[in-house]
Amino acid sequence: MAAINPAVAAPYSMGVHRNTATQSHKVMAAANPAVKYGRAASILSTPTQTQSPLLRRNSVPSRSSDTRIMAANPEVLSSPSSSNLMGVLFFTQCQFRNRYGQDLKLEDHIYWHGYGDPPETIAQQSASEFRHSGDTVGSVGAVSYLVRDKVRWIIAWSNSGEDTLKLNKVYSEINEVSEEGIDWCSIKESLDQNVPKYTARNKNYGYSADLMIDPTSNTPTMTATFKCGACY
């Protein structure tokens, strides 16, 4: 057997050693991003400009004054209140005004989003109000009052964070009481297609109602005034 030449053996030995070191370095780099990029310090992510759809919706200047971003406070995010996950508060202050000569009695109500206790009676020539607190989506609901047990006055409002037009809306009807009851689905469809001001009339009885809501606030006041022809 020929003797091994040390001059020849050395480069092969050193070559194996260098490859081993390289593989070891690659393993360490894969396990540690700081080693891979030659940095010993921790790697900080760069903030992006992407925003969630909900945050973009409430970045509208007219609504931002009523927007409370409280993501830094975990107590706010975990509280079951009328604020959503971005800390945006929703509620509607509902004011009912009776310009008629008879009391109006609560018949029914429905809340698609939110909760609250509407007044049982709106006394003649006076006003009553209540706060309808929203849920994570907003404050959307409707109530109905009876006028001398023959006519019902329906009041509906929408203060929703999901509205594509970014507008609060109101809607109203004044109808004779029927055995079929109230078609709340029809009321909701009409509400969704409406605007921040609305006037309802019943020519047979001479009744009318004017509704108004702040168009862009997350915490608007909604006023609904019931009148009759003899009261003008």
- pLDDT (mean) for 149-153: 94
Q: What is the pLDDT of residues 191-226, one digit of tens each?
A: 999 999 999 999 999 999 999 999 999 999 999 999
pLDDT at 161: 87
pLDDT at 25: 42
Handedness of CA 38, 40, 42, 44 (dihedral sign): negative
Please, which pLDDT band fits residue 87 given cuts at 50, 70 and 90? low
Of the chain, the percentage scoring pLDDT greater than 70 comes to 61
CA distance 202 to 194: 19
Q: What are phi and psi for residue 211, nearest 5 degrees?
A: -120, 145
pLDDT at 88: 61
Cα distances (Å, whole numbers) of residue 129 to 69, 92, 98, 123, 223 = 28, 10, 11, 12, 9
Please, which pLDDT band fits residue 15 given cuts at 50, 70 and 90? very low
- pLDDT (mean) for 50-78: 37
For the chain, list the domains and their CATH numbers: 96-228 (2.60.270.20)
Three-state DSSP at 155 gives strand
Q: Which residue has the higher pLDDT, 166 or 157?
A: 157
**CA contacts within 13 A on the Cβ side of 5:** 4
pLDDT at 179: 86
**CA contacts within 13 A on the Cβ side of 84:** 20
Q: What is the pLDDT of residues 171-182, one digit of tens each?
A: 999 999 998 899
Q: What is the pLDDT of residues 25-50, one digit of tens each?
A: 443 444 444 433 444 333 333 444 44
- pLDDT (mean) for 160-178: 91
Please, which pLDDT band fits residue 165 given cuts at 50, 70 and 90? confident
| 134-152 b/e (C-beta count within 10 Å ≥ 16 → b) | bbbbbbbbbbbbbbeeebb
CA distance 170 to 61: 22
